[in-house]
Structures are given as structure tokens and as C-alpha cells.
Amino acid sequence: MIPLSHLHDSPDGRSTRLGAQLLPDGAGTRFRVWSTTATLVHVRVDGAVHAMTALGHGTFETVLPVGAGARYIFILDGMDRPDPYARFLPDGVHGEAEVIDFDHYRWQDTTWRGIALADCVFYELHVGTFTPEGTYRAAQERLPYLKDLGVTAVQLLPVAAFPGQRGWGYDGVALYAPFAPYGRPEELMAFVDAAHALGLGVFLDVVYNHFGPDGNYLKAYSPTYFTERFQSAWGEGLDYAEPHMRRLITGSARMWLRDYGFDGLRLDATAAMQDDSDVHILKELAQEVHKLGGTHLLLAEDHRNDPMLVTDYGLDGIWVDDFHHEVRVTLTREHEGYYRGFEGGAAELAQVIRRGWKYEGQFWNVTGEEHQRGKPADALEAPSLVYCIQNHDQIGNRATGDRLNHHHDVTPQEYRGAATLLLTLPMTPLLFQGQEWGAGTPFLFFSDHHGELGRLVSEGRKREFAYFSSFSGESVPDPQAESSFRASKLDWSELDVGEHGRTLALYRVLTSLRREDPVLAQRSRKNLHAGNVLDVLWVRTHTDAGDRLLVWNLGQEAVPVDALTLDLPGRVILHSEVGLTDALPSSGLLEPGEAVLYGGSGGGTA
């Protein structure tokens, strides 16, 4: 039996008792280790080696008269082992950790109380490619731009420490330590602080379903963190029934939310978080997070279309792949890989919008999988469904990292029409960096693994996406090449040029309309109806405040709007090619790819 005192949070509320923890009133730093493999444990602090006392049950501890900034590494039976609970690894995941004082940073904004999911317009960004410098500090300087754009919540790709100098962040191995090349912990705090001062929420993508292949030292401390009962696509299964693994995960979540001030977490690939405990790890995670007080949100990336994640486990929202896939297939007519499960077209898009997602129990037989997929989303309200037309995966997991606007079959008009649909629906929208101006730069997959591991990553990626013909060619950029990383950095000089500027202007209008229009500001699926007239999609939102009707021409020919036999509200509010307006072009035609939003105070159904 493991004493609960070795698992629970420390008296001052810090995330876990393991690792290095500053004691109150300058009493030094306590170093604590749990290991089922070591018999002798030491800690080397600033070059001096100190024995640690065995407390029983695999726990070792010592208190030393050192403070913040001290460098340390644990020594297990004579072998140097980096601290998996490190709060900062300034020299990388194989090096010494630094003792961090979370109270050193003085928060400037003390009035922020969080953001409701219904108010979120997410902007997903990768710190390393968002700016030329690729740091928290440089990203902070762009926050006023995001405020002006009209997004309300910034979502960072994972920043938990991972090997090398560049990567997406999904190979993290130190769940408590921010990635050093982006900046120091206090610079990440300053980023969050500055965002809050501007009225922006900040969310963090976290990976609690696997560890990266390089730099994970947990097994050296205890193999019981892992299990053969489960296996994931990325390696050994995590044993969430092991109390220390469970506390590692929940403690990490609590730290990001409490000590760094994040407003919520996006949980990567929750379908891979297999757990046979009495209480599923996701449910306990939600309970722990919601006990923190204030507004803290948990969003699941999960392809299963299972409302239980919200209704039973208590998460707040789910990323919905089906909406993205139907938009993509509609505009590009691609049917490779998992896109084979989607038909595209106005009727299919209308079904997804009406039902929340496409698959609610139908048979799925795509990419080697055969099973019933999904359950009805009837119990979920609109904010719990996160929709996008692009994200890091759906761009970066393409062979050349090409964005939707790069596709030869997607016209600028269709691209702007898709944005108009996304931002006028009551579901929670997510944008990916640069999407708002139709960025010309790709977002490639890139990594910085050493030697043989790097080669295996490059080859494994081609195998993983073998069902996409584009991955079979020799022209696929090498993820290990630094050029792949550099090519993925946004080109901010594009911002207001030509079609880029036109697209950006539309996004600004749409986010303002979403926020201020009395009908669109009501986030309920109960008000939502959708259908089609041949290749024209229509979406009606009907509330006590009035009617809004979006009409999007997905065909190849211009359409006379008056011929659509729709009950049109009184006036035109927005045209995707013009912006705010009060009339259609004099021709009365809706050209291919264009969308129009009508508004009126009366009711009516299509």
C-alpha cells in the first residue's frame, strides 16, 4: 500500500510532491523521488552530490539549503537520470533540471476570471512558427493583432518539453517543464498574463495518451508507470490505474491551469487514453480541474463521436472531425484515406450541421477499420462541438503541408464561403494560424530527433499515411530537415496584400458579427436548421431576436437567389465577397463559392 501522503498535492497546493519543491520562508528545497527499481538514490545539485534518505515504499527525500535557479539531476544506483517531474529543463530533456519559484513572477492582470466556451473563437498557434523568432515573447507581441482579428481564445500547440530544437510538441516527455527553446517559464506566464489583459483566453494542448520515443525517463524510475494491457499507435500503454501515473497526469493539468494561468486544456487523442480503472482517468481529470474554481475548460480531440465524453466524463467540448472532412471533400473532391467515409456536397454538410456530426452509429469501413462509429449528439449543445475548416493535423498531416487555400480546386471565393459558414454557426469555431489571410506558407510536419531515430520517424510517417498517394513520392519534405521547419513559419508580409487582405477583412467582419449580432450571438442548436436546394446549402438560425439565413453556392454555376424558393428574411447583411452590405449585386446572382447572410426580425422556415 502506497501512503497517500506520497501521492497527494503538497500543503501549499503545488502539483505533486515528487521532484524539486521550494519550501516556504526560504527553508530550502525538498527533493523527492519515487522508484521501484533503485536502492540508492542521490541528487547532484550545482555539482555537489547528496545522498537521499529512503522513506519506504520506494520514496527517497532530502532537503537542501538551495533556492530557485539551482541545477540538479537525480542519480539512481549510480546512473544520472533527469527528473521526469522537472519544472524546467534549460539544457533539454537529457540534462539537468532547474528549481523554479512559481511565485517569482508578479501577475499584472488580477481581474481575469476566465472565458465561457460559448464565447470562444479559438486561434490555434504553434509558438515556433507563429513568428520569425519562434518564442513566447515574440508571440506576445502579436497578441494585439489577434485581439483586433476578433478571436477570443488562443490555443497553443503542446509546450511540454520534447527532444531537439524544433517539433510540433506531441513527442513530449516532461509534462511539467515548458520547452526551453521557446523561452523561460516566466516568459510563458507573461504571455498568458498579457493575453488576459487584452481579454483573450489562453488554452494549452496537452498530450496525456503517450510519451515521445526519446527522453522519457519514467521507466528508469519505475516500469509500473506503463502496462502491456494496452498499446497505442505511439508505443507502450500508460497505466492510469497506477496511482503515480494517475497523479502525474492530473498534477500536470492542475499546474498548467493554476501556476501558468491557462484557461483550459485541449486533450490530445483521448480515444487512446485506455483505462480500466473504476473511475476513468478522463472523468477524474475533469473532476480535479473543475474543483480548481473559476472557469477552466477541458476539450477532447476524439474521433469516436461519443457524447459520453461530455455527458458522463464531464469534459466541456469535443473536436468534431466530421465537419472538417465534409467541407474538405465538398471543396476538393478528395476521397483518399479517411476522406472515403465522406461524400461531400450541400446535402451532406446540411446533415452534419443538423445532427452535430455525421457518424452517429453508422458502419465505418475505412483505412482498415471496421466498426460502428459514433452515437447521436442530441444531448450536446452547440458550444460543446468545436468545428474547424483547418487545423494543425489536417494541414500538417498532408504530404506537403498544404493548406485548404493552396488546393488547385479551391477558389478564393469558396475559401471565403467556408469561413462564412464556420463563423456564423453556433458551434465553437477554431482557426489555425494564418488561415485568416489565406497564408501562402505550408505547415509541414517537422521534428529534430537524433540519428537513427530521426530516420525511423521519417520512414514511419510515410508508412502511417500510405493510403494517401501523395506520401508515396520522393518529393515529400523530410520532417528531420530544418528547412521543413523554416518553411512552415508564417510570412507576415502577406497580411494585407491582394487576396490575403481581402480574406483577412472578411474574417474581421465575421468575428465582429458573431459577437455583436443578436441572433448569431445565441449559441443553441435548438435554433438551427439546415438543408439544401440542389448545390446550394442553406442554414437558418431562428430566435426571438429574429432570423438569419446563410446561403452558400457550392455549385459550378451562378444561381439566381430569388429562384431558390427559400423564405428569405428581409435584407442582406453580409456578402462573402463584399463584407457588410445591404443588397445583393444588381444581377441578383450568387456566383459559385459565394455566400450571403440574410437577416430579418420575422420568423419563417425554409
Q: Which cell is 118 given?
A: 460559448
521 has pLDDT over 90: yes
- How much is the pLDDT for 232? 79
- How much is the pLDDT for 470? 65
588: how many CB neighbours lie within 10 A of its CB?
13
Q: What share of the chain is helix, strand, coil (3-state, %, to 5)?
A: 30, 25, 45
| DSSP conformational letter for 337 | G
Q: How far apart are CA 41 and CA 22, in angstroms?
A: 20
Averaged pLDDT score across all residues of the chain: 93
Q: How far apart are CA 469 and CA 467, in angstroms?
A: 6
Nearest to 419 by CA among 577, 282, 298: 577
- How much is the pLDDT for 472? 64
pLDDT band at 4 (very low <50, low <70, confident <90, very high): very low
Q: Which cell is 133 given?
A: 523568432
- Longest Cα–Cα distance of the chain, Å, equals 84
SS (H, E, C) 109-133: CCCCCCCCHHHCCEEEECHHHHCCC
Q: Give the least confident one: 4-13, 233-242, 294-303.
A: 4-13
Q: Could you tell me which residues come within 8 angstroms of residue 515 by beta carbon, excluding any fewer than 6 positions away?
A: 150, 521
Task: Map grid coordinates 529512503 to a residue.
Answer: 54
pLDDT band at 160 (very low <50, low <70, confident <90, very high): very high
Q: Could you tell me which residues come within 8 angstroms of residue 347 by beta carbon, excluding any fewer than 6 positions away?
A: 532
Across 118-122, 565-569, 601-605, the highest mean pLDDT is recorded for: 118-122
- How much is the pLDDT for 69? 98
Long-range contacts, 171-174 (Cβ 8 Å, 24+): 171/211, 171/212, 171/213, 171/214, 171/447, 171/449, 172/207, 172/211, 172/212, 173/84, 173/93, 173/211, 173/212, 173/214, 173/215, 173/216, 173/217, 174/82, 174/84, 174/86, 174/89, 174/93, 174/215
- How much is the pLDDT for 1? 31
342: how many CB neighbours lie within 10 A of its CB?
24
User: For 87-129, what is each residue's pLDDT tens digit?
Assistant: 999 999 999 999 999 999 999 988 999 999 999 999 999 999 9
User: Do the beta carbons of residue 402 and residue 434 sit within 8 Å?
Assistant: no
- How much is the pLDDT for 473? 60
User: Do the beta carbons of residue 218 and residue 235 sit within 8 Å?
Assistant: no
User: Do the beta carbons of residue 239 and residue 229 sit within 8 Å?
Assistant: yes
SS3 231: strand
- How much is the pLDDT for 148? 98
Percentage with pLDDT > 70 across the chain: 94
- How much is the pLDDT for 476? 82
381: how many CB neighbours lie within 10 A of its CB?
18
- How much is the pLDDT for 235? 78
Domains belonging to the chain, first-starting first, are: 528-600 (2.60.40.1180)
User: For 329-383, what is each residue's pLDDT tens digit?
Assistant: 999 999 998 999 999 999 999 999 999 999 999 999 998 888 999 999 999 999 9
544 has pLDDT over 90: yes
Handedness of CA 300, 303, 305, 309 (dihedral sign): negative
Q: How far apart are CA 364 and CA 131, in angstroms?
A: 40
Task: Map grid coordinates 452590405 to a residue.
Answer: 581
- How much is the pLDDT for 466? 62
Higher pLDDT, 458 or 555: 555
User: For 578-602, what is each residue's pLDDT tens digit?
Assistant: 999 988 887 889 999 999 999 987 4
User: For 58-76, what is each residue's pLDDT tens digit?
Assistant: 999 999 999 999 999 999 9
569 has pLDDT over 70: yes
Nearest to 445 by CA among 142, 168, 32, 179: 168
Q: Which residues pair with 372 in a beta bridge?
A: 363
SS3 290: helix
pLDDT band at 418 (very low <50, low <70, confident <90, very high): very high
Task: Map grid coordinates 483573450 to a residue.
Answer: 200
Percentage with pLDDT > 90 across the chain: 85
Nearest to 383 by CA among 601, 603, 115: 115
User: Do the beta carbons of residue 177 and residue 15 sit within 8 Å?
Assistant: no
137 has pLDDT over 50: yes
Rg (CA), the chain: 25
7 has pLDDT over 90: no
Report the catalytic residues: 268, 301
Task: Map grid coordinates 510570412 to a residue.
Answer: 491
SS3 154: strand
- How much is the pLDDT for 562? 87
